[in-house]
Amino acid sequence: MNLWALDLWRKLRCLVLLSFTVVLVGCASIPAGVERSPQDPWEPFNRSVFEFNEGLDAYVLKPVVAGYRFVLPEFVRDGVYNFFSNYSDIYTALYNLLQGKPGDAFNDFMRVVVNTTMGLGGLLDLATPGGLEKHKEDWGQTLGVWGVPAGPYVVLPFFGPSNVRDTFGTVADLESDYLFRLLPDVALRNSLTGLRVINARNTYYEAGDLLDGAAIDKYSFVRDAYIQRRQYQINQGRDDEEESTIPVYQNPYE
C-alpha cells in the first residue's frame, strides 16, 4: 500500500513537472479584459497548457486520426471503439459499486458478460440494443461522490481539462489500469495504448470542428462546460438531482 502511494506520488510529480515544462515553452496569457473565474485561479498557467494541447492536437493527433479514418472502414473503427468501451465497462461496474450504486454496477457487469461472449470479445455492442444502458464512471467521479471537493480547474498536458480532484483521479485511473499495465508484451501494450488514444480522439472527430465553430473563446467554453459536466456526472442518480442541476439565471423576465 505504501509502495502504491509512493508510486502515485511519483507519477503525480511527473505530471506537475511536465506541466511546468509546457508552460515554459508556451507563453499564453489571459487576454486583456477577461474576467477571472473564481474556479480558475491558475488561468495563465492553464491557458498555456491549453495552447500546447491545441497545437499537439492540430499538428499530431488530428492528422493521425484523419489517416486512421482514411485507412480503416467504419465497421472496423466501430469494433475498436466497442472493444475499448467494453474494457472500460469493467471499471465502470467497479466504480459504481464503490459509489454505492449496486443496480448500475450489476447492469454494467451484465454488459461486459454479454458483449464479451456474444459480442465476440467486445467487438460488438449487443448490450445497448438489448436494453442494458451504458454508463461511464472514473476515479474522479467516484471521489466526487464520496464528497471530495473538485478544487481549482487545471488543464493537464495531453489529458486536457481537469481539476485538482480529477488529476488525482486520472493518475489513479492510469494506475489501476491493470489489464493493460500487466500485459507482458511491451510492443503489443504500446500499440494498444496508441490505438486507444486514436480511438478516443476519433470519437469526437467531427464534433471537434463543430466546437471550434461554435466557440467564441474556446478556452473558457471548454472550461465552463467541463466544470458543469463533471458536477452533473457526480450528481447523477442522487435524489436531489433535479434541483441541483437547473441553473437559476440572473435576469428573468420582469
> Could you say whether residue 54 binds another protein (CB under 8 A)?
no
Nearest to 226, CA basis, from 173, 174, 157, 152: 152
Using CB under 8 A, pick the residue from 11, 42, 81, 164 that binds another protein. Answer: 81
Q: How far apart are CA 124 and CA 116, in angstroms?
A: 9
Residues 177-206 that bind another protein (CB under 8 A): 200-201, 203-204, 206
Of 93-101, 103-111, 179-187, 240-248, which part binds another protein (CB under 8 A)? 240-248
Q: How far apart are CA 101 and CA 243, in angstroms?
A: 21
Question: Taking the complex as a whole, how short is the minimal distance between the CB of residue 10 and another protein, in angstroms?
Answer: 23
Q: How far apart are CA 95 and CA 132, in angstroms?
A: 17
- Grid coordinates representing 215 are 466557440
Residues 91-120 that bind another protein (CB under 8 A): none
> Could you say whether residue 238 binds another protein (CB under 8 A)?
no
Using CB under 8 A, pick the residue from 24, 71, 187, 246 that binds another protein. Answer: 246
Where would I find the beta strands (DSSP E) of 42-189?
153-156, 160-163
Using CB under 8 A, pick the residue from 225, 237, 238, 239 that binds another protein. Answer: 225
Q: How far apart are CA 81 and CA 225, in angstroms?
A: 24
Within 10 A of 56 (CB to CB), how many other CB atoms are there?
A: 14
Q: Is 110 helix (H, G, I), strand (E, B) or coil?
A: helix
- Enumerate helices (H) and strands (E) in the chain, giving the number of each: 12, 2
Per-residue contact track with another protein, 10 to 39, x per CB under 8 A? ---------------------xxxxx-x--
Q: How far apart are CA 110 and CA 114, in angstroms?
A: 6
> Could you say whether residue 210 binds another protein (CB under 8 A)?
yes
Per-residue contact track with another protein, 122 to 141, x per CB under 8 A? ------x----xx-x-----
Note the residues at the interface with another protein (CB under 8 A): 31-35, 37, 78, 81, 85, 128, 133-134, 136, 158-162, 200-201, 203-204, 206-211, 213-217, 220-222, 224-226, 228-233, 242, 245-247, 249-251, 253
